[in-house]
Amino acid sequence: VVDQIRLWQLENERMKTTVGFLFKEFEDHKEYLAIAGFAEEIGVLVWRSDKTGMFFASKHEQIRDYLRIRKKAE
């Protein structure tokens, strides 16, 4: 029984969870690259996939602000 419990704990340790925000559905790949790059730069990027054009960030406030500034500049 002890061995089993140890085994389950091991399985749980193999699972990492991070609270944050999934960014998806960008207008185009250029926009995706710019925003993902910004997220990386400010240190909130957790995961990115250039293939699917999605990324996961631990925070969203600064990214939101950056998006707004970009829109205004257009």
Nearer to other proteins, 40 or 54 (CB): 54
Nearer to other proteins, 8 or 73 (CB): 8
The token pair at 55 is 């990324």
In whole angstroms, the minimum distance from the beta carbon of 8 to other proteins comes to 5
For residue 38, which phi and psi values (nearest 5 degrees)? -65, -45
Interface residues toward other proteins, by CB under 8 A:
3-4, 7-8, 11-12, 14-27, 31-32, 35, 46-47, 49, 52, 54, 56, 60, 63-64, 67, 71
CA–CA gap between residue 71 and residue 33 (Å, rounded): 15
Reduced to 3 states (helix: H, G, I; strand: E, B; else coil), residue 53 is coil
